[in-house]
Structure 1
Amino acid sequence: MTGDELPRLGAWVKLPTPESVELLALAGFDFVVIDAEHGAIDLRTMSTMIALARGYDIAPYVRVPGTAPRDVQIPLDAGAAGLLVPQINSVAQAQDAVRAVRFPPLGMRGASTSGRAGQWGRAPLSEYLRSGNDNVRLIVQAESVTALASIAEIGAVAGIDAAFIGPMDLAVSGRFQEGSTEMADLITAAEQNCADHCVPVGTVAAGNAAELLERRGYDFLVLGADTTILRQGAHALVQAARTATLGAGR
């Protein structure tokens, strides 16, 4: 992915199998997020997933567990199109993420053209550095009341490309009950704040993708996970078969 455009529709990859990426690409998704925060995905499998995604022309993002050098360096050198960094609650934490992910002068990322991001040593150092700062997307996750209150300031930090509102962690950290109007109001205010300050924003969708994209101004959505898609599809097949069997009087 190049330029300022963000791919619109994506899915989490939580199963440690590259075939998940292939299936999601064939389904028409624009990007995948390889989940190294919650998924049991080792580095070798992650690298293979990134390569497979690029072969299918679907943008491979990685949700990293943190901003330690090993958290960010390996997926970036493996050719990730971008990173999602969880639990960014302040401008200072956003600046820390930039320092970890970007090359100087924005950050302190270590350089090596010997990986996929450097075309296995073929890319000139200048192009490798430019691409790492200009083409790789850095998306910070706003998952607390504090983060949502500062989302525009966080999103405006140089080197940050977008913010991602995480409603599940927001509900847990804020101790909101399901259907909380207070939480809904916080999210609405954050959406408006992002719109007012031209901060691209994404979130998860649960059957309300059209509303989020067209009416509420979201730039990109994660529609689900490979695990959820498999479970729901399998459940629908079983239920349909059982219903048909009962309808036949068996």
Structure 2
Amino acid sequence: MKEKIHNGETVVGMFLSEIAAPNLIRLMQVAGVDFVVVDCEHGYFDYSQVAAIASVANGINFPIIVRIPEISRSCIQKYLDAGVDGIWVPMIRTAEQVKKLIEFGKYYPDGMRGISTMRPHSNYAPGKLVDYVKAANKRTMFFVQIENRDAVNNIEEIVDVKDLDGIFIGPNDLACDLGHLGNFDTPDMDDAILKVIKTAQKKNIPVGMVASNPEYLRKWAQAGMTMFSCDSELGLLKKGIQQMLSKVR
């Protein structure tokens, strides 16, 4: 996934909101999804549940990203040591926050991640430590979510942070922060999103969107976005049930 997004290829994923069954990941891969975001910001997954999901994902070579509740060393390290492929931070406001994310998530010399390699993230076989640390730093992905006017205003400093892999727009909270709760279709919303896209493109950082409306995602694909997270297991399950009932009844 990291290679794809930095080559400008489009990827389409979805959120896992609260169903912790690890084999859902196998189903999502077979269905054609490119990646899954385990939502530990709003979701109530515990570390052992995320570790089980990551274990299945690693076994089938499928990208798992965790949206974390806060930027903390213990939080980031536990998820990465469990074997997830990337960390996604919501509600970013400043470049300093992004620097903390990289510091906690990367090994020396790129960061200060604690070293404990007899863990799932190394498949319990890290080999030579110097080589493993270098490979892990290269492989792990780091994303931030832009969803307030502070982040939009600070976007130039945010994209300047080394080792940031991508930016996702959170339209619900961004619209709310701009004073348009529930309304994505406003000029200042469009201006804010376009500013993020254009600024990130100057640094070759891919930009994406989180939304459940495919038409809205297509709009931003035409504006240059290449990463999309559409809906969740709960949203799709509900829609599937409703579709079945409408046909049966």
TM-score, normalised by the number of residues in structure 2? 0.89
> RMSD over aligned Cα, in angstroms?
1.9
Q: Deviations over 1:149-207 (max 9, x none)?
A: 22242122012111111111212233324133221221122222222332211112421
> Quick one: which amino acid aligns to residue 212 of structure 1?
W
Structure whose CA Rg is larger: 1
Q: CA deviation at 1:210?
A: 3.8
- Contact 2:2/2:141 (<8 A) preserved: no
* Alignment match of 1:207 (pick from 188, 211, 214): 214
Per-residue Cα deviation, 1:196-221 (whole angstroms, up to 9, x for no partner): 332211112421344433x2111211
What's the counterpart of residue 11 of structure 1? Answer: 14
Q: Give identity over the alignment, percent.
A: 28
CA offset at residue 4 of structure 1?
A: 6.3
CA distance in 1, matches of 2:141, 2:200: 17
Query: Which residue type is aligned with residue 208 of structure 2?
Result: G
Provide structure 2 residue ranges, at least 5 long, that are not aligned to the other structure. none
Contact preservation (8 Å) 1:13, 1:20? no
Is the CA contact 1:18–1:52 (under 8 Å) kept in the aligned structure 2? yes
Q: Does 1:176 align with 2:213?
A: no
Shift, 1:19, TM fit: 2.9
Task: Determine the C-alpha separation between the residues in 1 that align with 2:236 and 2:190.
Answer: 26
Tell me how far apart the structure 2 counterparts of residues 10 and 61 of structure 1 sit (CA, whole Å).
10
The answer as to whether partners of 1:90 and 1:147 remain within 8 angstroms in 2 is yes
After TM superposition, the score normalised by the length of structure 1 is 0.89
Alignment of 1:1-250 (within 5 A): 1=1, 3=3, 5=5, 8-14=11-17, 15-177=19-181, 178=183, 179-205=185-211, 206-208=213-215, 209-213=217-221, 215-242=222-249
Find the counterpart in structure 2 of residue 248 from structure 1.
none
Structure 1 unaligned blocks of 5 or more: 243-250
